[in-house]
Structure 1
Amino acid sequence: MPVYEFDGVVPVVDPTAFVHETASLIGDVIIGPGCYIGPFASLRGDFGRIVVGEGSNVQDSCVIHAFPGADAVLDPNSHVGHGAVLHGCRIGSFALIGIGVTVLDGAEIGADSLIGAGAVVTAGTVVPEGSKVLGAPAKVIGPLDEQAKAWKRNGVRIYQELARRSRESLRPVPPLSAVEPDRRRTAWSADAATPLHRKRAEGAS
């Protein structure tokens, strides 16, 4: 993985975390135990400090940064979806930051909240614990129901398993030239493969 010292400050990665070889860690970055940092994520601690708490995941192409003297903090078991941008904010435990979300300086996302895909959380916004948040600018539209909370927490667990399995089995290989007969799929439990909208539909039937 590209890891860079900046101004005498070196990133810290717990040995039980998985950081993809294309992710970039610069300067004052602290990655806790059991975390997953996905391909092409950029955690740039050249101005402020970045702390990724135990069991959290930062998925593909995310960007995390902060102003000088400020911190970007992911509390333990945070869940940050593909392509999200976090700048000088705090993400509570078991909060889910959806695909393509932007969270700006001084915003605080309460624990167990869900920020819907593409939302823009403006600077200084405080999202109460357990909220559902949508839109640009983002608005709290109500509390998150128990089914959504359980689904979201399961997603955190799955990414913790992905971190472990990636440490154990991810390795560079040459591609095959053709699809082999009876090509196997990656092996995951059924609860890893059910999006929330399908889970709700199944519950209604």
Structure 2
Amino acid sequence: MPCYAIDGVIPVVDPTAFVHPSAVLIGDVRIGPACYVGPHASLRGDFGTIVLERGANVQDNCVMHGFPGRPTVVEENGHIGHGAILHSCVVRRDALVGMNAVVMDDAEIGAEAIVAAMSFVRAGMRVAPRTLVAGTPAKLLRTVTDDELAWKKEGTEAYHDLARRCLATHVETQPLTEVEPDRPALRAPGVLPLVATRKTS
């Protein structure tokens, strides 16, 4: 992975975390155990500290950055969807920030809360624990249901498994020219969109 020191400060990655080779880590970045950092994510600790606590995942094309003295933190089992941007904010334990959402300076996403995809969480906003916010700017919709919380936790566990799978089997290779007849199927139990879980419950 492209990994850069700045002012003598070197990123730290726990050996049980998986950081995709195309992700970029700069400066004061601290990635804890069992984390997953996806392709082309940018974690820039060149002004402020970037922290991923145990089991957090930051998916492809996400950006984490912040101001000096205002760390950008994703707590334990935090789940950051594709293309999201976090800037000098805190995402508490078991919270989810949806795809292409933006969370601004000094905002706090409470434990087990969900920020819907494409939402804009304004600077200084406090999202209460286990609530759902959506929109631009983000507004409170309701409490997160038991089914939604279970779905979120299953999705995060799938990323824990993905980190382990990547550490064990992820290798750069050349593409085949055609599909082989005995091609293995990928197995990702529990990886379902929320709409699918609603239809079965």
**Separation (CA, whole Å) in 2 of partners of 1:182 and 1:23:** 32
Q: Give the residue type in structure 1 aligned to 2:6.
A: F
Give 5+ residue unaligned stretches, structure 1. none
Q: For residues 1-205 of structure 1, what are the structure 2 equivalents within 5 Å?
A: 1-189=1-189, 191-192=190-191, 194-203=192-201
Deviation at 1:70, TM superposition (A): 1.3
How does the TM-score come out when normalised to structure 2? 0.98
Q: How much does 1:180 deviate? A: 1.9
Shift of 1:67: 0.9
Q: Matches of 1:71 and 1:178 in 2, distance apart? A: 47
Percent identical among aligned pairs is: 49
Superposed CA deviations along residues 23-63 of structure 1, whole A, max 9, x for unmatched, are 00000000000000000000000000001000000000000
Please, what is the CA RMSD of the aligned residues?
A: 0.8
Q: Structure 2: how far apart are the matches of 1:2 and 1:188?
A: 28
Paired residue type of 2:84: A
SS in 1 for 2:157: helix
Paired with 1:129 and 1:140, the residues of 2 have a C-alpha distance of 11
TM-score normalised over the length of structure 1: 0.96
SS state at 2:60 partner: coil
SS in 2 for 1:60: coil
In 2: Cα distance, 1:82 partner to 1:4 partner: 23
Distance in 2, matches of 1:155 and 1:187, equals: 14
Aligned-pair CA distance for 1:184: 2.7
Between the aligned partners of 2:182 and 2:139, the Cα distance in structure 1 is: 48
Q: Whole-Å Cα distance in 1 between the matches of residues 188 and 9 of structure 2?
A: 39
Amino acid at match of 1:186: L
Cα distance, 1:182 vs structure 2 = 4.5
Question: Quick one: distance in 2 between partners of 1:188 and 1:25?
Answer: 28
Quick one: which amino acid aligns to residue 106 of structure 2?
A: G
| Equivalent pair of 2:158/2:188 in contact (CA under 8 Å) | no
Structure 2 residue runs without a partner (length 5+): none
Report the secondary structure of 1:154's partner residue.
helix
> In structure 2, how many angstroms separate the alpha carbons of the residues matched to 1:183 and 1:9?
45
Give, in angstroms, the shift of residue 181 of structure 1: 2.2
SS in 1 for 2:152: helix
Give the drift of 1:155. Answer: 0.9
